[in-house]
Amino acid sequence: MSEISQQALESAVRQYKDPYLGQDLYELGAVKSLTAEDGRVRLDVVLPYPSDGIKGALTELVRHGLEDVPGVTSATVNVKQRIHAYRPQKDLQSIAQVKNIIAVASGKGGVGKSTTAVNLALALSAEGARVGILDADIYGPSVGMMMGVPEGRRPDTKDDKWFIPVPAHGIQTMSMAYLVTDKTPMVWRGPMVSGAVQQLLTQTLWEDLDYLVVDMPPGTGDIQLTLAQKVPVTGAVIVTTPQDIALLDCKKGIEMFRKVDIPVLGVIENMSVHICSNCGHEEALFGAGGGHRVAEEYHTNLLGQLPLHLTIREQTDGGTPSVVAEPESEVAHRYRDIARRIGATLSRRERNLSSPIPSISTSDD
């Protein structure tokens, strides 16, 4: 049997370009080993972002490329992922058991921010990451209802000090809605709200999270600015609709995060087009191209465009968001594409090597 050229094998591997980072597997540092013995080739790849949705395509494309190399009788491609902790703004100390915090924000209410945050968290989980979601919208907490958590459910506690996250659809959740009734108005001033979010964040025993998605309150006022300065955020995502007034507020949101040195990972354009539930006709009710224009103006990414569709609202209101209600639907695929894009963008960030804030300590004394 002729000897297999290592250079030819590496060249075959380099033919695959990552669809989100635009580099080959060697440029990404994703190739961990490439061996050949008796005509059998084995390649081990570790991607730096949640990528279960593209794992199959990557495996097949690279395997076929390797099997085309002279002398190769079979090729095995193993693809895994390893998500690292990346640096938050101003080197704030990170939270124990939480690698990365993604803030989902909007310049104004009514653009579908919470729906997007919930589906994004579920999409990251579907892509193989360990995920939690924190409902930081103290005045209007809705994550619990959207995740199907029964009304009146209270989080368990540990040592009368620590909250245990409430599990829902495979992810860890925490919300002020778990601590009050839905009829309790939060008549609080800004400092009280900021303090409450800080407590929910640091006094919850998150368990080994790759990503904690934070559903921020809408707007760009004092509360949002304070949270952006105190919560160790790895990156922010801005949700908007195509209409001009929403885009003005979207720009304010981007400017707010940039003032506190939080990188804006990109813009999600929600309600991009209306899809008729009867005939499937698409119509841009709120205008078109707005997300593209904002992304270009601020040199950031348009992460994705989501339709205005009746089922998205019905599924979320019913406690089973689109990503889990219809995992093979076009909407679910769009959310998962956005999740991979966000993870890939974050993977370009500088690593966070600092020690996190300890969340709990025990003693035998």
In 10 A of CB 205, how many CB atoms?
19
Q: Give the CATH architecture of domain 6-81.
A: 2-Layer Sandwich (3.30)
**For residue 32, which phi and psi values (nearest 5 degrees)?**
-100, -30
Residue pair 86/234 in contact (Cβ under 8 Å)? The answer is: yes
Q: Which two tokens stand for residue 49?
A: 């972002």
Distance, CA of 176 to CA of 214 (rounded, Å): 13
State how far the alpha carbon of 285 is from the alpha carbons of 114, 118, 158, 281, 289, in Å.
21, 24, 49, 12, 12
Integer Cα distance of 119 and 312 in angstroms: 10
Strand partners, 351: 86
Query: The tokens of 273 are what?
Result: 């087009």
The SS3 assignment for 113 reads helix
Protein fold of 89-346: Rossmann fold (3.40.50)
- Every domain of the chain and the residues it spans: 6-81, 89-346
Whether the Cβ atoms of residue 191 and residue 144 lie closer than 8 Å to each other:
no
What are the per-10-residue average pLDDT scores of the chain (365 residues)? 84 96 96 94 97 96 96 95 93 91 86 92 98 89 92 89 94 89 60 81 94 89 79 92 75 87 91 66 59 78 85 88 93 96 94 64 42
174: β partners: 134
Phi, psi of 160 (to 5 degrees): 55, 25
What is the enclosing helix (H) or strand (E) of 19? none
pLDDT at 189: 62
Q: How many CB atoms within 10 Å of residue 339?
A: 31
Q: Specify the pTM.
A: 0.90
Which amino acid does the sequence have at 278?
N
Whether 157 contacts 179, CB under 8 Å: no
Alpha helices in the chain (DSSP H): 6-14, 52-67, 113-126, 143-146, 190-202, 222-230, 244-259, 290-297, 310-317, 322-325, 330-346
Question: Which pLDDT does position 268 carry in this prediction?
Answer: 92
Write the DSSP assignment of 177-192 as a string of letters: GGTS-TT------HHH
pLDDT of amino acid 299 = 80
Say if residues 303 and 338 touch (Cβ distance below 8 Å). Answer: yes
